Structure 1
């Protein structure tokens, strides 16, 4: 694995950076959540934000999404400053955030519907991503007829269908059982490979972060800043069945736990 100083440009040329966070701070009243945080997210890769509870992972994700303003600093997506939500970013919420009165296909196509895409076109796109997340045959079902894991797949398909170049995932697998979570992780690796999009993934799970990530940014407790950037190297192309047995995978998991143990209450 390679470990990179958090204040470095991470060795990537600007053209290879999809999202750039520069000296971002966020203050809520008398609480400073983020302080001068800088981080680059390489294009076409999955970066996990990992750290103890309350360290600002979701806050940073929402600032990148344009859902929260930064107190200071700047976020750029594809070289353009972020001032509000935009079609270049799509958010997958922890609690699914589906329309309960809409079918699976309408939920998936809803972002396209808001953009005025014709019904036949948006449904064709929605069907593609419904198949891609493993929900073929459930197009006309409603959220209450689906399991938690299936509802989260609908949310992921909806995020993919609008063709945003940056997907922001806020603990998307936290509400599902362990078996479903492992299958999601395998599917996510395939999506990253197939879609060539930039994924920013918030998780509390060290094992999950190491399993799915091209890059892991470890955030320290507030005021949050990046303490370490890890880029796994030896197991990324060995196939989903071999990652968890790889010595580097096990070493990184142990190393991250050693770094974070002192901050767990």
Structure 2
């Protein structure tokens, strides 16, 4: 386990020489909402190409705010986000957002929901349906193409949202607590599937979660944010071999000790 103190990230983000290159750079981000509520203060981070990074911290620390700023859905009060070196001015095709509440069109089939991002971009129907079917299959929903959202469980609806994000072939997938609305069994299966999909797709994932266990199980790096105003308190690099049996991984000393270490650091923030 590698735990980096926040003081080493007070300036512009610097990656080690042997680290993957940064696809996203977050520099000096501040966010102040109306009423003079400071959500984020001096956030400096990089998100490395092909890695899974989790944003973890107490409720109200600005995790979702930071994710939406990276997505271009919110403008920072100060600072800059760059994707592939270009400043973020709004949403872009290199980033796809998976919403907590699924954000599916209730009147559209699974197939059309999964291909909707491509439809908006003007991709021909045959091509977008072919790509949508491919990713529906990848997320484990083959056979449900003609179903409607109300006919699906919460976990299945979230899989449709993930298929839609994958179908547009964005470099970065931004996920806002994607498993919070599903039961524990579904959540664990979805986590295992996400590891498999990441290996196949070679995408960069940024995940907001409240679950220490989830962050440790999934992540190459975990960014711990302090209570509001959110600052980078610590960056944790799990050293866990995820190639074996998923349940065996969750019983390893490395996994359990890291969960305890992170909780020890976060518990002082919890009232």
Q: Same fold (TM over 0.5)?
A: yes
User: Which aligned runs of 4 or more in structure 1 are off by greater than 4 angstroms?
Assistant: 12-15
CA-to-aligned-CA distance 1:31-53 (integer Å, 9 cap, x gap): 11000011111110100000000
Contact 2:20 2:48 in 1 (8 A): no
**What is the aligned partner in structure 2 of residue 25 from structure 1?**
30
How large is the RMSD of aligned CA atoms in angstroms? 1.3
| Whole-Å separation in 2 of the counterparts to 1:15 and 1:220 | 26
Change (3 A) 1:151 1:53: same
Number of matched residues?
Answer: 265
**What is the aligned partner in structure 1 of residue 173 from structure 2?**
167
| Whole-Å separation in 1 of the counterparts to 2:200 and 2:93 | 20
**What is the aligned partner in structure 1 of residue 205 from structure 2?**
199
Superposed counterparts of 1:181-200, under 5 Å: 181-200=187-206
For the pair 1:209 / 2:225, whether they are aligned, the reply is no
**What is the aligned partner in structure 1 of residue 98 from structure 2?**
92
Q: CA deviation at 1:16?
A: 1.0
| Whole-Å separation in 2 of the counterparts to 1:209 and 1:263 | 18
| Whole-Å separation in 2 of the counterparts to 1:196 and 1:95 | 25
Change (3 A) 1:210 1:15: closer
For the pair 1:233 / 2:239, whether they are aligned, the reply is yes
SS in 2 for 1:242: helix
SS in 1 for 2:76: coil
**What is the aligned partner in structure 1 of residue 5 from structure 2?**
5
Q: CA deviation at 1:215?
A: 0.6
| Whole-Å separation in 2 of the counterparts to 1:22 and 1:13 | 21
| Whole-Å separation in 1 of the counterparts to 2:248 and 2:54 | 20
Q: CA deviation at 1:241?
A: 3.4
- Structure 2: which 5+ runs fail to align? none
For the pair 1:52 / 2:58, whether they are aligned, the reply is yes
- Structure 1: which 5+ runs fail to align? none
Normalising by structure 1, report the TM-score.
Answer: 0.97
For the pair 1:16 / 2:21, whether they are aligned, the reply is yes
SS in 2 for 1:159: helix
| Whole-Å separation in 2 of the counterparts to 1:206 and 1:146 | 28
SS in 1 for 2:234: strand
Contact 2:24 2:83 in 1 (8 A): yes
Q: CA deviation at 1:192?
A: 1.2
Normalising by structure 2, report the TM-score.
Answer: 0.95
